[in-house]
C-alpha cells in the first residue's frame, strides 16, 4: 500500500525531481503492533534533512494521519517515507512554484536469519570508497548510488553487510547501518560530517551512552583501529542492533555490550 500526497496509488508523476535528480530525502522505520517506532525522532530527522536541502517538509499532523492510515492495515512492517522536491520543469534550478511530494509506503519485514541477532554477522570490506561531501553528509537523501554499487560487490548470503570506508580510508559504517566500536571503556562511532548517514538509532545510542556516562566520541576511525575493537555493532531502525562477528579473517566472540545496546534500543521510543 502506498500513499502519494495522501492518495492511494502506486504511481508517481514522471516529472518528479526525486526521479530526475534524486532531489529528496527518505526515512525507513519499523512498524510494530501498528505503531511506527520512534516516529517523533524520525520526523525531527526528516525536518532537519529537508531543511538541509531547502525542501519544504510536510506537517507532522499530515504525516501522522497518513501513517496511521497505512500502518493500521500493516501492523508489522517496514514503513518508508520519501519527501521529494516535487514535480517541476526540466533543469537543476528549483522553481518557486514547485510543491514537495510525500510518499508513504509499507513493505514486509525483511527475513534475516535469526543468527544475525543471536550470533552476530559477517562483514565484507567494500572496495568502493565513499566520496567526501560535507554539504550532504549525514543527510538521508535520495542520491544513494554509492550504496547500491557497494551492495553489488557481494552476493554471498553469509555476508550480512558491507563495511564502507571513505576515500581517505576512514571507516564510515555499513551500506545500510551505522557502526559503533567498544574500546576499553569508550564507545567510538565514525564522524559523519564529511559523508555517511547519521541515523536515528545512532543518535539514540549516543544519548544513552551519555546518560550512562560512557564516553562516545564521534571520531575518525581507521580500519586498523576498528579491527582492534573489543566489540563492534551495527544499528539501524529496521534491524535494531547486530553485533559484528567477523570482518574478513578477524573474528569477535559474543560480547556483553551489544545486548545492553539492544536493551537501550528496545526501550519505548516516541
Among 57, 142, 205, 269, binds its own copies (CB under 8 A): 142
- Decide if residue 147 touches its own copies (CB under 8 A): yes
- Of 204, 260, 217, 169, give the one whose Cα is nearest residue 44: 204
Widest distance between CA atoms in the chain: 56
Among 107, 119, 122, 250, binds its own copies (CB under 8 A): 107
Instruction: Kindly state the cell numbers that stand for 86.
Output: 516535487
Among 33, 54, 97, 224, binds its own copies (CB under 8 A): 54
Among 1, 22, 44, 125, binds its own copies (CB under 8 A): 22
Stretch in the footprint of its own copies (CB under 8 A) among 17-25, 65-73, 185-193, 254-262:
17-25
Min. distance of Cβ 128 from its own copies in angstroms?
Answer: 6
- Of 202, 177, 238, give the one whose Cα is nearest residue 29: 238
Q: Which residues between 158 and 217 bind its own copies (CB under 8 A)? A: 167, 175-176, 195
What single-letter DSSP state applies at residue 9?
Answer: -
- Decide if residue 82 touches its own copies (CB under 8 A): yes
- C-alpha dihedral sign at 250, 254, 258, 262: positive
Q: C-alpha angle 176/208/110, rounded to 5°? A: 30
- Of 162, 269, 146, 170, give the one whose Cα is nearest residue 223: 170
Three-state DSSP class for residue 258 = helix
- Decide if residue 135 touches its own copies (CB under 8 A): yes
What residues line the site for its own copies (CB under 8 A)?
Answer: 2, 4, 9-23, 26, 28, 53-54, 78, 80, 82, 84-85, 89-94, 103, 105, 107, 110, 128, 131-133, 135-136, 141-152, 167, 175-176, 195
Amino acid at each position: 500500500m502506498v500513499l502519494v500526497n495522501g492518495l492511494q496509488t502506486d504511481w508517481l508523476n514522471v516529472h518528479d525531481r526525486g526521479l530526475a535528480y534524486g532531489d529528496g530525502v527518505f526515512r525507513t522505520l519499523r512498524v510494530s503492533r501498528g505503531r511506527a517506532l520512534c516516529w517523533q525522532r524520525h520526523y525531527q530527522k526528516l525536518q532537519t534533512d529537508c531543511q538541509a536541502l531547502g525542501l519544504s517538509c510536510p506537517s507532522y499532523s499530515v504525516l501522522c494521519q497518513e501513517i496511521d492510515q497505512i500502518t493500521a492495515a500493516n501492523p508489522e512492517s517496514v514503513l518508508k517515507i520519501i519527501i521529494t522536491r516535487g514535480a517541476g520543469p526540466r533543469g537543476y534550478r528549483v522553481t518557486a512554484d514547485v510543491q514537495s511530494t510525500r510518499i508513504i509506503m509499507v513493505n514486509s519485514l525483511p527475513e534475516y536469519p535469526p543468527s544475525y541477532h543471536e550470533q552476530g554477522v559477517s562483514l565484507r570490506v567494500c572496495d568502493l570508497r565513499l566520496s567526501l561531501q560535507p554539504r550532504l553528509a549525514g543527510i538521508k537523501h535520495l542520491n544513494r548510488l554509492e550504496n547500491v554499487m557497494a551492495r553489488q560487490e557481494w552476493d554471498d548470503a553469509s555476508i550480512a553487510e558491507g563495511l564502507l570506508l571513505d576515500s581517505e580510508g576512514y571507516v564510515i559504517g555499513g551500506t545500510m547501518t551505522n557502526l559503533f566500536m567498544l574500546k576499553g571503556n569508550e564507545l567510538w562511532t565514525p564522524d559523519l560530517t564529511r559523508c555517511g548517514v547519521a541515523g536515528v538509532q545512532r543518535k539514540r545510542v549516543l544519548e544513552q551512552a551519555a546518560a550512562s556516562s560512557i564516553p562516545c566520541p564521534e571520531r575518525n576511525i581507521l580500519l586498523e583501529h576498528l579491527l582492534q575493537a573489543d566489540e563492534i555493532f551495527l544499528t539501524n531502525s529496521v534491524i535494531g542492533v547486530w553485533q559484528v562477528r567477523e570482518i574478513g579473517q578477524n573474528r569477535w566472540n559474543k560480547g556483553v555490550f551489544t545486548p545492553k545496546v539492544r536493551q537501550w534500543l528496545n526501550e519505548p521510543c516516541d
